[in-house]
Structure 1
Amino acid sequence: MTVLLAVVTAILVTPAVAVADTQGGETLNGQIRKPETVAGIDITVFQGDEEIGTATTDSEGRWEVALPGPGNYRVVLDEESVPDEFVVADQPGAEHADVNVRPGQQRTVIFVLAYADEASTEPSPSQSSDDADDGAGAAASDTEDGLAAPGVSSNASFGTKAIQLTVAGLLYGLIIAISAVGLSLIFGTTKLTNFAHGDMVTFGALMALLVSGMTLFAGLHTAVTNLLADVWLLGPVLGFVTRPMVLGTVVAVLLGAALGAFLERFIWRPLRKRNVALIQMFIVSIGLAMVLRHVLMVAFGSNRMSYPDFQLQAMLRLGPIAITPRDLVLMILSVLVLVGVAALLQFTRVGKAMRAVSDNRDLAESSGINVDRVTLYVWTLGGALTALGGVFYGLNQIVHWQMGFHLLLLMFAAVILGGLGTAYGAMVGGLIIGLVAQLSTLWFPSQLMNAWALGLMIIMLLVRPQGILGRRERVG
């Protein structure tokens, strides 16, 4: 009941600027950087026979055209503007005939060049990527959020679509699970419904964006790559590890852990010491979420942004499955992280203490466990996982000041579905939510994908209120 009240309250207190952000903002954009960045190429966008606008690539090969609204557009690259030493690659060609743009979406369209004196043998990249902010504000978050399933053709068979959407659902579910584990552990140890958790996701994504854009880290990567270019194995490994996005992710996770520890040490622990009621702490978490969200908006702006690394990639074809190397790596890393968290909880003293406090805080304290210290560890771990989930989510979406708020309802759904207070339940619930959301698009419009996932949460509350892995508790 508290969680449902929290959901309604958060939607009601969402400021008007959040709703206004869903109006307009549609663009088509891209970057011509294969085989190298090329400036001065003209790209024109049409809707029907009407010309919407023309953009010219800058020194980094980037272009962008603002759109009058959602709809289907035709994007044409002017081959006469291409320098003589280049030609437009046959795939995907010089024209994208039918590019669908959803409300509030900033969609990337890919054009590829080749050297004129060489035959292009590069694999065809995905035609475009749904780098959408997926709506903004409470009204749109249930219709546009979610990871796009690349490589799903409208002409593909039902079986192929089902396989591809299952892969997309697993990735979506893994990201939800990573973000929701901390939320579940925090609830288990403190009984606090933390509404700032979604904005901690945004914090992690934006910190990675900030750090990865620093000249210092770009220079470090260049220096390491040049110095160790001829060193077998060590050179490529260190070259990858020192990439700005990788370093940004590490720093974001550390800052997320520090944020979680700070909130526990200087806000939640003093409130508990003063015996503040849970409902009052719940209201504090809503206020904290709004403060953090708008501080991030002021600091980073309300524009949608994307990470510079790992965006434009060729699709890997594994039988009926089409996936980018980035998404494949994200899936592998997500599984490793969740397995690591499970091992931490199951086999280490700190993990066992966390589970003990979550099961029965008073009994754990009476048995000699330092409950305050364990709670601090939980918030630190939760902050780190939340930041990591934000980075992973941002790599599949446009980074935006409300992205974590959009994911919050699905994190709550995962926690409730799996069982309140259980980390393993959040993992299972996240996977189920991701799969249901994606597979529902086989039969229903994609705008309803998250609605079915939330509907599953409601059914679970009616049938098994304690969740899949939760335990029955006596009330009253």
Structure 2
Amino acid sequence: MPNNPFDETNGSSPVAPRVRAVALLLVTLVAIVLALPAQALATAPVAAPGDDTAITVTLTDESNKDAEGNSTPVPGVRLVVSNDGGELGSAETDADGRAVLPVPEKGTYTVTLDEKTLPAGIVLDEDTANELTVTVRLDGPTNFALFPIGVEKADTSSFADDLSSSIVSGVKFGLIVALAALGLSLIFGATGLTNFSHGELVTLGGVATWFFDRQLGFPVIVAGVLAVLLGAGFGWAQDRALWRPLRSRGTGLIAMMIVSIGFGIFLRSIYQYFFGGSTKSLSRYTGQARHDYGIVSLADKEIVILLVAIVALAAVCVALMKTRLGKAMRAVSDNPALAASSGMRVDGVIAWAWIVGTALSALAGVLLAVNSQVNFLMGFKMLLLVFAAVTLGGLGTIWGALIGSMVIGLMVEVGPLFGVPSSIKEVGALVVLILILLVRPQGILGHRERIG
């Protein structure tokens, strides 16, 4: 079968040199993304509250006073400290509305309030800035700053307005989850592997975007494109260096799943060591004004996130249905042995599944970084929701992964309106997963299988 990219070729070239070469490439790719300059890490030390220099911020609600006329403290709000070199650290206010933000030395810093973490029903008014400039003149955590944010109760916000806003946020988050879930489904369908390191592939996209943006000076959009390309290359490299040798040795899926757990822990530790434990932001698009579109309000970056996710998902789904490679992937997913016996190069198809699946996951990390911020645990925190989306929709089904992701995204964002605490809002989505699987164990679009 001439000119067939899926023909099986049984060359006699030794395998070991190729594995060593690809392993070296894998190490090189990881080093490029994660070998952040030591100077960059040295400029952002994490000081221990109470020992080193820090800013102690008190957050109060000026519009809500107690019987003695004192402003009410606002707990659970995330504050970020930064300077010209970028973000230095973050902390959440305690029950007294107080947060300690470590800084490396004396100087002038900017404290930014993350409006998304404000308690339900509280918003900033139009005349209140979400930033505070603080000059640190003393050693230790005795640099106090009062943050009178002048918040006011959103009396004009009806339940319908809150519901529409939560639905839009749920759709946006669901699309981001769908990108990662589609990548997981492609890999699972081609290999049968339940990849527990998949969350770190999402983190790779976010960390790489930050690295290309903050460290190398690329614009955020260019940095995001480079991160997706790097993710695709990393998917190919890890398949050639790790998963293909394991498959060629006949390693079982359970053993490979255990390997994926260890590989995920390894990548997570690498991220933490080089990137650091603090949350960092990109150079642009961290805060944007919202525009009203009928009953909802959206920032420009949120519109872009929705469009990019929809286009990417549609393009991959069309490619799976119409292109030769997509049909080959579906054939390998249905019956790898039959696909190989018909002359299809199964290892090549699996490699493409890793490339496309990792690129989609990296894109999810890019959009998550633009939507919020970058943290070495960002993908790990989303991993359980990705598994829930894939399981809810039906294992191995592409459309099921998309539908399951939308259900999970909506439940996560809408749940707080019905009494689910924001700090554990993911629990509502997992409860829905359990209830649906009790009624339909194979998932929404999964096929019933006979066991035994």
Same fold (TM over 0.5): yes
Total equivalences in the alignment: 350
- Establish whether residue 435 from structure 1 lines up as the match of residue 436 from structure 2: no
Distance 1:403 1:215 in 2: 22
Residue 288, structure 1, aligned to residue 263, structure 2: yes
- Cα deviation, 1:356-399, whole Å, max 9, x if unaligned, reads 11122222222222111100000000110010001111222221
Instruction: Choose from 414, 420, 429 the match for 2:389.
Output: 414
Which of these residues, 216, 219, 222, is aligned with residue 247 of structure 1? Answer: 222
CA gap of 1:395–1:303, structure 2 versus 1, over 3 A, is: same
Asked whether 1:307 is paired with 2:308, we answer no
| Counterpart residue number, 2:104 | none
- Residue 94 of structure 2, aligned match among 69, 80, 104: 69
* 1-structure distance, mates of 2:86, 2:369: 22
Deviation at 1:270? 0.8
Q: CA separation in 1, counterparts of 2:128 and 2:283?
A: 17
1:32-58 alpha-carbon deviations (Å, 9 max, x no partner) = xxxxxxxxxx99744566999x99995
Structure 1 residues 272-281 or 193-202, which shifts more? 272-281
* 2:26 matched residue in structure 1: none
Cα 1:362/1:100, change in 2 over 3 Å: closer
Segments of structure 2 that go 5 or more residues without pairing to the other structure are: 1-47, 50-54, 61-69, 100-111, 132-152
The match for 1:466 is 442
Calculate the TM-score normalised by the size of structure 1: 0.66
Sort the Cα spacing of 1:100 and 1:272 in 2 relative to 1 into closer, same or farther, 3 A. Answer: closer
Counterpart in the other structure of 1:206: 207
Cα 1:171–1:154, aligned 2, differ >3 Å: closer, same or farther?
A: farther
Deviations 1:304-331 (A, max 9, x none): 1111111121111112211111111101
Q: CA deviation at 1:278?
A: 1.2
Q: 1:255-294 residue pairs with structure 2 within 5 A?
A: 255-294=230-269
In structure 2, the CA distance between the partners of 1:327 and 1:369, relative to structure 1 (3 Å rule), is same
Q: Find the partner of 2:433 among 451, 457, 461.
A: 457
Q: Determine whether 1:446 maps to 2:447.
A: no
Which residue is equivalent to 1:184? 185
The one-letter amino acid of 1:458's match is I
- SS for the counterpart of 2:297 is strand
Indicate the percent of aligned positions where both proteins have the same amino acid. Answer: 40
The 1-side partners of 2:434 and 2:324 are apart by: 36
Q: Cα RMSD over matched residues?
A: 3.6
- What is the CA–CA distance in structure 2 between the aligned matches of 1:268 and 1:334, rounded to whole Å? 28
Please give the secondary structure, in 2, of the residue aligned with 1:307.
coil
What letter corresponds to residue 317 of structure 1 in structure 2?
A: D
Equivalent residue number for residue 88 of structure 1: none
Which whole-Å CA distance do the structure 2 matches of 1:421 and 1:253 have between them?
A: 23
1:160 aligns with 2:161: yes
Deviations 1:246-282 (A, max 9, x none): 1110110011111111111111111111111111111
Looking at structure 1, the residues matched to 279 and 235 of structure 2 have their Cα atoms a distance apart, in angstroms, of: 25
For 1:186 and 1:276, the matched residues in 2 are separated by 17
List aligned pairs for 1:9-408, cutoff 5 A. 45-47=58-60, 69=94, 72=97, 153=154, 155-217=156-218, 244-408=219-383
Deviation at 1:409, TM superposition (A): 0.3
* 1:127 CA drift (Å): 6.5
**Matched residue type, 2:451:** V
The answer (yes or no) to whether the contact 1:126–1:314 under 8 Å persists in 2 is no
Give the distance between the partners of 1:200 and 1:62, measured in 2 at CA.
23
Shift of 1:427: 1.1
Q: Note if contact 2:89-2:279 (Cα within 8 Å) is conserved in structure 1.
A: no
The answer to whether the Cα contact below 8 Å between 1:178 and 1:334 also exists between their aligned partners in 2 is yes
Distance in 2, matches of 1:304 and 1:311, equals: 13
Cα gap change, 1:292 to 1:65, in 2 (>3 Å): closer
Instruction: State the alpha-carbon separation in 1 of the partners of residues 190 and 240 from structure 2.
Output: 15
Alpha-carbon offset, residue 462 of structure 1: 2.0
Which residue identity does 2:224 align to in structure 1?
A: T
Q: 1:450 to 1:345 in 2, by over 3 A?
A: same
Cα distance, 1:473 vs. partner? 2.3
Aligned to 1:87: none
> CA offset at residue 71 of structure 1?
5.7
Shift of the 329–57 alpha-carbon distance from structure 1 to 2, 3 Å rule, reads closer
Structure 1 equivalent of residue 23 of structure 2: none
TM-score when scaled to structure 2?
A: 0.70
The superposition leaves residues 216-256 of structure 1 with CA deviations (integer Å, 9 ceiling, x where unpaired) of 53xxxxxxxxxxxxxxxxxxxxxxxxxx1011101100111
Cα gap change, 1:264 to 1:443, in 2 (>3 Å): same
SS at match of 2:425: helix
**Alpha-carbon offset, residue 419 of structure 1:** 1.0
Q: Does structure 2 retain, via aligned residues, the 8 Å contact 1:189–1:421?
A: no
